[in-house]
Amino acid sequence: MLGLMQSQPLLISSLIEFAERHHGSAEIVSRRVEGDLHRYTYKDAAKRSRQVANALDGLKIGFSERVATLAWNGYRHLELYYGVSGSGRVLHTVNPRLHPDQIVWITNHAEDQVLCFDMTFLPIVQAVHARCPTVKRWVALCDADKLPADSGIPNLVSYEAWIAGHATTYAWPMFDENTASSLCYTSGTTGNPKGVLYSHRSTILHAYAACLPDVMCLSARDSVLPVVPMFHVNAWGIPYSAAMTGCKLVFPGPALDGKSVYELIESEQVTFAAGVPTVWQMLLGHMKPNKLHFSVLNRTVIGGSACPPAMISAFKDDYGVSVLHGWGMTEMSPLGTVCTLKNSHLALSKDEQLKILSKQGRSFFGVDMKIVDSAGKELPWDGKTYGDLYVKGPWILREYFKDDGGDPLVEGWFPTGDVATIDTDAYMQITDRSKDVIKSGGEWISSIDIENIAVGHPAVAMAACIGVAHPKWDERPIIAVVKRPGMDVSREELLKFYEGKTAKWQIPDDVVFVDAIPLGATGKMLKTRLRAILKDYKLPV
């Protein structure tokens, strides 16, 4: 017997319709490439999303065909999120920080029909357009009078001119909720990027989960700043969760430096922000010397790479902001875990709470996880035993887009490539990417632990730990360190700083001072490149 409730597919168009009807006057504020702040409401966004849908119909872009963006976080990008997916096409968000050859590769692989770009990325488009034969229309996200006269790009139109002539009414189509909605490629540090194809259903379920109190706890009273880019896993789903809750949305555009982000947080009374540790490092680096404080910001999700405990303490102790340490992957839409305390932890000391809050956290309904040994046998949740982390759930990848690399799943579980422990309270802690873990004398050393200690030193701005071949121990850790401007620390002082903070055999064998640590397209430390840079390095004897 079937239940007797209404059957309505979970479609992305219903989010913007809902926001328009129930939160029509809630604000969306964007810093534009032009530098000014643009303000409008969900009602305006909904109207212009429908114009986008009509414009795509006008170009005869078919159902499930791909429309690409190369754009910062901003209102026009949001309109494309809804106009493209809502009308049944697939929004392909391209990461502009990728190498132009990779952009060409994924644009061809995705068979993008239209590519919409912010003017910042005009030089990229000029460099790649001739190698992207599937793209029949290039759209510059600007007013008609800002379009360069001699760009050399055929079929170039300004976004405003493109949508202007189209009706603001549109009947969003109804279709199967499992239909593809958007596409995001992993950064592919090894081999070609792989496409993760989200569905309407997976996106909406993920958006619901993101709003939960133990995840992002979003509400209509929040003012939300996604610093995490809309070109990287849909800004962790915030553009969807925002429409679901009717919170105010604040987009930083291209200005991601500490000063600009701080000013935006204050001027727009941001209560919740989300980003990777490197962005928050820039923000704190601006606030401390200028003795600044937040007036209403109360929490921030930090993830994408490990958030050092020193950053969690700095936010809480100096600024009264709770850090929610999160973990996820492109393949997971991306939310997998977020760290918040349970009732039983509330009476613990501050230090004991920090130990828990430094973990990557608990999964929430919709994500199941387990750790397994090399034979695939499930390992205990004791907080000590580490193993390969596997996940499953309705917003986790089943197969890569147009990929012939075989089934990525193992008995229905997705192997994350991370090594982790899970404790008795179900808190997961990442030890390392499996390819970054350091194997010393048969034991494993977590490069994340070694980095976290180094960045706890006041003179260290950034630190990356890698393993170096050793004749006796297989591998030994060394730490590459970027010093804070105007501050100093010696090799000996830093090695001494490790004493008592980790087991003796885990203390790095050496410190290498560097000007910068190479970062990948999503702001993560690129250890492959660091290893290449240090290839002639010899351990001290």
> Is residue 452 a contact point for ligand ADP (CB under 6 A)?
no
> Is residue 445 a contact point for ligand ADP (CB under 6 A)?
no
> Is residue 333 a contact point for ligand ADP (CB under 6 A)?
no
Q: Which residues of 397-429 are buried (b: 16+ CB within 10 A; e: fewer)?
A: beebbeeeeeeeeeeebbbbebbbbbeeeebbb
Closer by beta carbon to ligand ADP, 54 or else 431: 431
Closest approach, Cβ 319 to ligand ADP, in A, equals 20
Residue 522 catalytic? no
- Beta-ladder partners of 338: 326, 362
- Cβ burial of 51 (10 Å; 0-12, 13-18, 19+) is buried
Contacts of 4 (CB under 8 A, 6+ apart): none
Closest approach, Cβ 194 to ligand ADP, in A, equals 9
CA distance 302 to 320: 15
Q: Which candidate in 342, 439, 443, 493 is catalytic?
A: 439
Closest approach, Cβ 337 to ligand ADP, in A, equals 8
Name the 3-class secondary structure at 31: strand
> Is residue 49 a contact point for ligand ADP (CB under 6 A)?
no
> Is residue 430 a contact point for ligand ADP (CB under 6 A)?
yes
Stretch that binds ligand ADP, among 117-125, 212-220, 322-330, 504-512 (CB under 6 A): 322-330
Contact 455/524 with Cβ under 8 angstroms? Answer: no
In this chain, which of 74, 195, 237, 303 binds ligand ADP, going by CB under 6 A? 303
In this chain, which of 81, 251, 280, 327 binds ligand ADP, going by CB under 6 A? 327
User: Per-residue string for binding with ligand ADP, 180-219, x by CB under 6 A?
Assistant: ------xx--------------------------------
Closest approach, Cβ 23 to ligand ADP, in A, equals 29
Closer by beta carbon to ligand ADP, 9 or else 417: 417
> Is residue 237 a contact point for ligand ADP (CB under 6 A)?
no
DSSP for 295-351, written as a single string:
SS--EEEE-SSPPPHHHHHIIIIIH--EEEEEEE-GGGSSEEEE----GGGTTS-HH
> Is residue 271 a contact point for ligand ADP (CB under 6 A)?
no
Query: What region, left, alpha or beta, does residue 10 occupy, with left being phi > 0 and alpha being psi -120 to 50 degrees?
Result: beta
CA distance 109 to 509: 44
The position carrying tokens 């000063």 is: 259
Q: Which of residues 337-376 bind ligand ADP (CB under 6 A)?
A: 360
Q: Which candidate in 111, 370, 444, 528 is catalytic?
A: 444
Contacts of 238 (CB under 8 A, 6+ apart): 210, 216, 224, 226, 228, 249, 274
Backbone angles phi, psi at 245, to 5 degrees: -105, -20
> Is residue 283 a contact point for ligand ADP (CB under 6 A)?
no
Q: Which of residues 125-184 bind ligand ADP (CB under 6 A)?
A: none
Closest approach, Cβ 69 to ligand ADP, in A, equals 17
Task: Write out the residues near ligand ADP by the rule CB under 6 A.
Answer: 186-187, 303-307, 325-330, 334, 360, 416-418, 430, 433, 522, 524
The residues annotated as belonging to the active site are: 186, 331, 439, 444
